[in-house]
C-alpha cells in the first residue's frame, strides 16, 4: 500500500462501516481492520466519515456570459472544488462566435488542462448558430463528450432553440445514445414579464425573480420531457428549482420517460426573501430562488428519488460585476458560486437536519452523477479499483461559510449566514491529498481530462 486511511467510517449509498482503507497507485486497493502498515503513509481519519468525492456535473469556469466572464478560471474554480470535497467537475463548453464545436472543445481543453486541480469532463452547449453542425455529434461522442446542453430560453443571447430545433438536436443525440441536458424555462413568459417590469419602472433585483415564475419552469420541463421522449433521447433537466417543476418531472417519470433532474444546493437552502436585501443582486441566478415550500419539495424529491443528482451551477461573479445591474436587473450577470459548498451544505443542512439520509447524500452527490455521466465505477464509489477520490468529514466541525473561508475568486459569500455542522478536513484526488484542514495542498494542472462514455442502460437507485 502507498497510503492507509485508518479509523475511518466509510459511507456508501447503502451502508456505513468501519475500516482501514488501503490505497495503491491512486486507487482503492483494500479494506480491512488493522491493516499492516508496512511503511505506508498513514492518514488518521479520527473516526470521521469517509465519502466518495462529489462529482459536480454542472460548473461554468471561465465562462463568457452577459458581457463579462465568470470570476473563477479552471484553476481557482477547481481549487475551490477540491477544498470542499468535490473531486470531479463536468463543465459546459460554450463555443465562441463562429467557432465550430470541435474547435471549441480543443479551446476548452487547452485552457483547462494546465490549470485543473481535480479531474474534469466536459459537456457541449448546442446554441443556435451551431445547428448546422449536427454532423459533429458522433465525433464529439467519440472524443468523450456524450452530453449536450440545450437552452429553452436566453433568446437574445443566441442560446435558445425553438421546439423544432430542440427536437432535431435531440434526435441526433439520441441516435448516438448520448444525453441532452436542458435549461428549462419558458422564454415567452419570461420575455413578457421582463418587458412589463421594465416598462413599469421595476428595476431592482427582486423583479428578476418575479419575471421568472416557477410555472415558466414547470411548462418548459413538461415540454422538454415530451420532446425528448418523442425524439428517443434520455434527458437531464439542469438546476430544477421549484415544486411545480418537480411535479412535472415526477409526471414524466411516472410515464416511464428516461429523464432525470438535478437540483442545486442554493435552491435547497436559500429563499427569495434575499432579493429584498441590499445585496440582493448577489443572489441573481436563473432560475431564481423560490419559497420555503419549494425548498421542502426539492428535499422530498431527493428522498423519494425523483431528483437524482446535485450540481452546483457554479458561475460566480464578484460584486463589481454584479454592480453592472445596479439600476436594471436584466444587466446583473446571472450566477452564484457553489462547487465548494455542495458537500458541507448537503451534509449539514440535509443529513444533520434529517431531511435526507447519508445514503441519499452519497447517491445524489456522487454515485448517481457518476452513473448518469459515464464515470461509474471509476468514480462515484469507493469499491476496490475505483479512483481514490474521497473526502473525510469531521462530522462535528463547525464552519461559518464566510468569504474568507472559501476559495472561489469572489469578494462575498451567499452563505455567510450559515454555519455548517460537519466539514471536510481532508480531500484526496486519485490518492493525492489536495486539501487538508482548509488549505489547498494539491497542484494546479494535476487534474486529468475524463473522456466519458455513457452506458446503454443505466439503472439508478
The site string for Zn ion over 117-156 (x = CB under 5 A, - otherwise) reads ----------------------------------------
Beta-carbon neighbour count of residue 424 at 10 Å? 30
Based on CB atoms, which residue is closest to Zn ion, 20 or 313?
313
The nearest distance, CB 238 to Zn ion, in angstroms, is 6
To Zn ion, the closest distance from the beta carbon of 86 in angstroms equals 15
Taking the least distance from each CB to Zn ion, the nearer of 184 and 393 is: 184
Secondary structure of residue 42 in the 3-state scheme? strand
Report the alpha-carbon distance of residue 203 to residue 217 in Å, rounded.
Answer: 22
Q: Which of residues 394-423 bind Zn ion (CB under 5 A)?
A: none
Q: DSSP for 195-264? A: HHHHHTT--STHHHHHTS-HHHHHHHHHHHHHHHHHHT-EEEE-S---HHHHHHHHHHHHTT--EEEEE-
| H or E segment and range at residue 265 | helix 265-269
Interacting residues with Zn ion between 171 and 190 (CB under 5 A) = none
Shortest distance, position 76 Cβ to Zn ion, whole Å: 18
- Does the footprint of Zn ion cover residue 62 (CB under 5 A)? no
Q: In angstroms, give the least distance from the CB of 183 to Zn ion.
A: 7
Comparing CB distances to Zn ion, the nearer of 56 and 313 is 313
Nearest to Zn ion of 79, 184 (CB atom): 184
Q: Give CB contacts under 8 A, 24+ apart, made by 316-320.
A: 316/70, 316/71, 316/72, 316/408, 316/409, 316/410, 317/68, 317/70, 317/71, 317/410, 318/71, 318/409, 318/410, 318/411, 318/412, 319/279, 319/282, 319/410, 319/411, 319/412
Task: Identify the DSSP state of 367.
Answer: I
182 or 356, CB closer to Zn ion?
182
Shortest Cβ 118–Zn ion spacing (Å): 19
Query: Applying CB under 5 A, what is the total number of residues that bind Zn ion?
Result: 1
Nearer to Zn ion, 61 or 105 (CB): 61
Residues 312-371 that bind Zn ion (CB under 5 A): 313
What's the closest the beta carbon of residue 22 comes to Zn ion, in angstroms?
38
Instruction: Write out the binding residues for Zn ion, residues 74-93 only, by CB under 5 A.
Output: none
Where does 99-190 show beta strands of DSSP type E? 119-125, 147-151, 179-183
CA distance 119 to 389: 10
What x-and-dash track marks residues 304-323 binding Zn ion by CB under 5 A? ---------x----------
Q: Which residue is nearest to Zn ion (CB)?
A: 313
| Rounded Cα gap, residues 364 and 377, in angstroms | 15
Write down the least CB distance from residue 296 to Zn ion, Å: 24
Q: Which of residues 266-295 bind Zn ion (CB under 5 A)?
A: none
Nearer to Zn ion, 63 or 329 (CB): 63
Residues that bind Zn ion (CB under 5 A): 313
Amino acid at each position: 500500500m502507498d497510503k492507509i486511511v485508518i479509523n475511518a467510517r466509510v459511507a456508501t449509498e447503502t451502508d456505513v462501516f468501519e475500516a482501514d482503507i488501503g490505497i495503491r497507485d491512486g486507487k482503492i486497493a483494500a479494506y480491512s481492520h488493522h491493516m499492516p502498515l508496512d511503511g505506508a503513509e498513514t492518514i488518521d481519519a479520527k473516526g470521521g466519515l469517509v465519502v466518495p468525492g462529489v462529482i459536480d456535473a454542472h460548473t461554468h469556469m471561465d465562462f463568457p456570459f452577459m458581457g463579462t466572464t465568470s470570476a473563477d478560471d479552471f484553476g481557482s474554480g477547481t481549487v475551490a472544488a477540491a477544498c470542499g470535497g468535490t473531486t470531479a467537475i463536468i463543465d459546459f463548453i460554450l463555443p465562441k462566435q463562429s467557432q465550430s464545436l470541435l474547435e471549441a472543445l480543443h479551446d476548452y481543453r487547452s485552457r483547462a488542462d494546465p490549470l485543473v486541480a481535480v479531474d474534469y469532463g466536459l459537456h457541449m452547449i448546442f446554441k443556435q448558430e451551431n445547428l448546422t453542425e449536427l454532423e459533429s455529434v458522433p465525433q464529439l461522442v467519440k472524443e468523450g463528450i456524450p452530453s449536450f446542453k440545450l437552452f429553452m430560453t436566453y433568446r437574445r443571447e443566441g442560446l435558445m432553440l425553438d421546439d423544432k430545433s430542440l427536437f432535431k438536436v435531440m434526435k441526433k443525440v439520441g441516435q448516438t445514445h448520448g444525453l441532452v441536458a436542458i435549461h428549462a424555462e419558458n422564454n415567452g413568459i419570461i420575455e413578457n414579464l421582463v418587458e412589463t417590469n421594465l416598462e413599469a419602472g421595476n428595476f431592482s433585483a427582486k423583479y428578476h425573480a418575479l419575471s421568472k415564475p416557477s410555472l415558466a419552469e414547470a411548462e418548459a420541463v413538461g415540454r422538454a420531457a415530451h420532446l425528448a421522449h418523442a425524439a428517443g433521447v434520455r434527458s437531464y433537466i439542469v438546476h430544477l428549482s421549484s415544486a411545480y417543476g418537480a411535479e412535472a418531472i415526477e409526471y414524466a417519470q411516472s410515464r416511464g420517460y428516461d429523464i432525470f433532474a438535478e437540483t442545486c444546493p442554493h435552491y435547497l437552502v436559500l429563499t427569495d426573501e434575499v432579493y429584498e436585501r441590499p445585496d440582493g443582486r448577489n443572489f441573481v441566478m436563473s432560475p431564481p430562488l423560490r419559497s420555503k415550500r419549494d425548498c421542502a419539495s426539492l428535499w422530498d424529491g431527493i428522498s423519494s428519488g425523483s431528483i437524482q443528482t446535485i450540481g452546483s451551477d457554479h458561475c460566480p461573479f464578484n460584486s463589481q460585476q454584479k454592480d453592472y445591474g445596479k439600476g436594471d436587473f436584466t444587466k446583473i450577470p446571472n450566477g452564484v458560486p457553489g462547487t465548494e459548498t455542495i458537500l458541507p451544505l448537503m451534509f449539514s443542512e440535509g443529513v444533520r437536519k434529517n431531511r435526507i439520509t447519508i445514503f441519499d447524500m452519497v447517491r445524489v452527490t456522487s454515485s448517481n452523477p457518476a452513473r448518469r455521466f459515464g464515470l461509474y465505477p471509476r468514480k462515484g464509489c469507493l469499491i476496490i479499483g475505483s479512483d481514490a477520490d474521497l473526502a473525510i468529514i469531521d462530522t462535528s466541525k463547525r464552519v461559518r461559510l464566510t468569504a474568507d473561508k472559501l476559495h472561489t475568486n469572489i469578494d462575498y459569500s451567499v452563505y455567510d449566514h450559515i454555519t455548517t455542522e460537519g466539514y471536510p478536513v481532508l480531500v484526496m484526488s486519485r490518492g493525492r491529498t489536495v486539501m487538508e484542514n482548509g488549505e489547498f495542498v494539491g497542484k494546479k494542472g494535476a487534474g486529468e481530462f475524463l473522456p466519458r462514455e455513457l452506458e446503454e442502460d443505466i439503472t439508478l437507485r
